[in-house]
Each structure stands twice: as C-alpha cells, then as structure tokens.
Amino acid sequence: PQKRNAYDDQLGLTAGLRGDYYVAIQAQAEPKKQTFVDVTGREYGSEEALRNAQQARYNQMAAELEDWEKGLTARDHLLSSGRAMLFLGMLALALAIAFFSGKPFYDDYRAKQQSEEAYVALSNAGNEVMSLIRSNKVFPSSYSNDGEYYHIGVEGDNAIKLSFNQNAYNGLQGSSITFELYQIPNAGVDWRCHSDLPEEYIPVRCPK
C-alpha cells in the first residue's frame, strides 16, 4: 500500500481515482487465459493448434475412409468374379446337358436324311444302268458308284445295291437299299425297291 500510495502521489491521482486504478492494476496483473475447444471437448492453447488438430483428425478419417472403400471394392470384385464363375459353370453345364440330350435326336434326324439322300443316289444309278440295258440289250456285269458314306454296285444279274459304310450314321452302317428289276405286264421292266434298314430309316419311296 505504501508503494502504491507513493506511486499514486507521483501520478497526481486523487483519492476518488485511486480505487479504480487499483482494480485496473489487478485486472492487468491477472489477465484472463483464452482457450479453444474442439467438438470432443479437448482444449487447445491457440486457434492454430486447434486447426492443426482438426486437420490431423480429418486426414486420419479420410485415410480410414479410403481404406474402407478399397476393402469394399476388393470384396465386390471378388463377389463379382465368383458370381461370373458360377454363371459360366452353370451355363457350361446347361450346354453340356442340352448337347448330350439333344445329340440322339440330331443323329436320328441325320440318319433319316442320309437314307433319303442315298435313295436319290441309287435312283440316279438305276437310270444309268437302265440306259446301259437298253443300249446293250443285256444287264451290265459291273457297275460302281461310290459316295461319302455308301457304295453302289451290281447285285447278281438283275439288281443294283447301295451299301452304307462306316461313315454313315449309326443305324445305317452295314445296311443296304436294293433296286431289283421286275417285269411290268405289257409295259417292259422297272425297278422295285426293298431294304434291310431299320424301319424308321427306310426311305419314304421304298416300300416297307
């Protein structure tokens, strides 16, 4: 107090101002400390320290989010690859089932088609042999005509025969179609067809 009074006297302060001045001196002597608080309640001594802490927290969250997204992408890629492989496997199985279940029907269709084609080939051979008979007045002793899956040759002295080889479809191999000459009353001769093929493969124009 003595030092304060002496200082006040030196400044020339009146008694009314000396009390306020004391409060001011006290306020200056004990300045209020300013702090900064983040959303978690943590205090920082300066605004810059708060911003640095917020930036560090943001960077950490961004890195964690990026890692999480990469994990999701890898998982989705794995799941997509798995689904694709499953789909391809199911498709391959379906195609295999369709192929093996449909193959007998296709083979049956092709065998019937080859039988009809063979009948046409034998008819053409019959026309050629008939022309030889008319020209030479005798049945030819030899005649040969080969196709991809058959052989046509003379059978005896009054017939030509088409025999299916190993290139023909199952059901036709080893079987044959025969054209045999027969007399038409008052009209000359013509071919009569007969076959030892399974019934379902006998050509439509060849009587069963």
What percent of the chain is predicted at pLDDT more than 90?
43
Does 143 map to a domain?
yes
Does 38 map to a domain?
no
Does 153 map to a domain?
yes
The number of domains in the chain is 1
pLDDT score recorded for residue 20 = 53
Q: Specify whether the CB–CB gap between 18 and 25 falls below 8 A.
A: no
Over the stretch 117-130, which tens digit does the pLDDT of each residue have?
A: 999 999 999 999 99
Does 149 map to a domain?
yes
Does 148 map to a domain?
yes
Two structure tokens written together for 122: 């034998």
pLDDT score recorded for residue 31 = 56
Q: What does the pLDDT average to over 67-94?
A: 75
Over the stretch 119-158, which tens digit does the pLDDT of each residue have?
A: 999 999 999 999 999 999 999 999 999 999 999 999 999 9
Taking CA atoms, 168 is separated from 12, 100, 123, 208, in Å, by: 137, 20, 19, 21
Does 42 map to a domain?
no
Q: What is the mean pLDDT of the chain?
A: 82
pTM comes to 0.52
Over the stretch 6-60, which tens digit does the pLDDT of each residue have?
A: 766 776 666 666 555 554 445 454 556 666 666 677 776 777 877 887 788 888 8
Does 184 map to a domain?
yes
Q: Which 3-state string (H, E, C) describes 132-194?
A: HHHHHCCCCCCCEEECCCEEEEEECCCEEEEEECCCCCCCCCCCEEEEEEEEECCCEEEEEEE
pLDDT score recorded for residue 173 = 95
Does 50 map to a domain?
no
The CATH number covering residue 170 comes to: 3.30.700.10
Over the stretch 63-80, which tens digit does the pLDDT of each residue have?
A: 888 888 888 887 777 777
| d(C-alpha 132, C-alpha 118), whole Å | 21
